[in-house]
Structure 1
Amino acid sequence: MEKLIAQGKIRRWGVSNLGYADMQELWQLPGGNQCATNQVLYHLGSRGIEYDLLPWCQQQQMPVMAYSPLAQAGRLRNGLLKNAVVNEIAHVQQNAAALEVELSSAELAMLDKAYPAPKGKTALDMV
């Protein structure tokens, strides 16, 4: 990567689906700490990165790029659309413009309760 940067062929580079241990290993390689982002699966039903990977990336000031943030509209669709908390929020805000929607602390807390963050290390989810 360093060679490609030196040749002007790329400016930044990133990785996909690297877990916490993988990122720590990458950081030890020459130029590994120049990684611009890690793209990982992240949505309400897949919050495993919150245990160790996300805090570590935040500590390194490295953005995390979520893929499938809406769970591909299938994996969670049945449970999500049947969840009274989610439906209540959706009903109240159904006419709001997408860019103007801001969830309150109480609404975010309800979502956290319905889809809790992991209490321990989990395997990195992938699609």
Structure 2
Amino acid sequence: VGAAVAGALRAGDLRRDELFIVSKVYPHNASRSGTIAACERSLKRLKLEHIDLYLLHWRGAHPLADTLDAFETLKRQGRIRHWGVSNFDTDDMEELSSVAGGARCAADQVYYSLSQRGAEFDLLPWLRSRSVAAMAYCPIDQGALARDATLRAIGERHRVSAAQVALAWMLAQPGVVAIPKAAREAHLRENLEAAALALNAADHLELDRQFAPPRRKEPLAMS
């Protein structure tokens, strides 16, 4: 990835300000010194001067205060612009917010899709109330939604694919950004086109019947 990005920047095909680069630190590296060292390794691999959003991959043994101290140091040094977390549920976010600097968390990246809606019960409202972005990974549920009959039927009405319906639904959720995978250029173009799809009220009702929102607290899905 780093070589491809560096090559595109050198060739003038992209400007750095057109890219939003996200990277992560693994929990076993998330001590104060380990986080800084891991970030420097990522920057070297990516051949970049800074990372736009740097995430703690999931909870680990290192104190959150140490990880946040490293994040803030990296921000002051200009090595990252923002920091966030991944796979943090509501209780984790509450604990994070109690740590010095925790309110500066920019995003929580979680497994969220039409078929995995557990985050809607209390996590998404918590994030929205504090202006923390929710980043939805696996928004097509690892490809399962691309084969769903209900989504295919809705897609036929709009002349789009089932996967595009799943992404359009996700993009309609306030405070949520989707990060679908794209193995080929055709997939990337299909993902981008989903942003222009506006589902109607009948579509949303049909999707809620097929994929009911949670009525109680559920563990976050993970991949």
**Corresponding residue number in structure 2 for 1:21:** 91
Q: Distance in 2 between matches of 1:35 and 1:95?
A: 36
The residue number in structure 2 matching 1:68 is 138
Name the SS for the 1:14 alignment partner.
strand
What runs of 5+ residues in structure 2 fail to find an aligned partner? 1-70, 162-192
Answer 1 or 2: which has greater strand percent. 2
Q: TM-score, normalised by structure 2?
A: 0.51
Calculate percent identity across the aligned residue pairs. Answer: 39
Asked if 1:46 is matched to 2:116, the reply is yes
Compare relative contact order (CA 8 Å, sep 6+) and give the higher one, 1 or 2.
1
Rounded Cα–Cα distance in structure 2 between residues aligned with 1:17 and 1:119: 21
1:8 aligns with: 78
Match of 1:89 among 154, 161, 167: 154
CA distance in 2, matches of 1:95, 1:26: 40
Q: Which moved more, 1:52-61 or 1:100-109?
A: 100-109
Q: CA deviation at 1:95?
A: 5.4
Judge conservation of contact 2:140–2:146 (CA < 8 Å) in 1: no
Superimposed CA distance per residue, residues 39-74 of structure 1 (whole angstroms, 9 cap, x where no aligned partner)? 000101100000000000000011100001011113
Q: Which runs of 5+ in 1 are unaligned?
A: none
**Aligned residue pairs: how many?**
122
Cα distance in 2, alignment partners of residues 5 and 45 from structure 1: 36
Code of the residue aligned with 1:11 in structure 2: it is: R
**77 and 95 in structure 1: CA distance in 2 versus 1, 3 angstrom threshold:** closer
**Root-mean-square deviation over aligned CA pairs:** 1.8
Q: TM-score, normalising length from structure 1?
A: 0.87
Q: Specify whether residues 3 and 23 from structure 1 end up closer, same or farther in structure 2 by C-alpha distance, changes over 3 A only.
A: same
Q: Give the aligned residue type for 2:153.
A: E
Describe the SS at the equivalent of 1:40: strand
Asked whether the equivalents of residues 87 and 108 of structure 2 are also in contact (C-alpha less than 8 Å), the reply is yes
C-alpha separation between the residues in 1 aligned to 2:196 and 2:114?
A: 20
Deviates more, 1:13-22 or 1:100-109: 100-109
Give the CA deviation at 1:88: 2.2
Counterpart code for 2:211: Y
**C-alpha displacement at 1:32, in angstroms?**
0.9
**What are the superposed Cα offsets for residues 94-119 of structure 1, whole Å, 9 maximum, x if unpaired?**
25964432110111111011001110
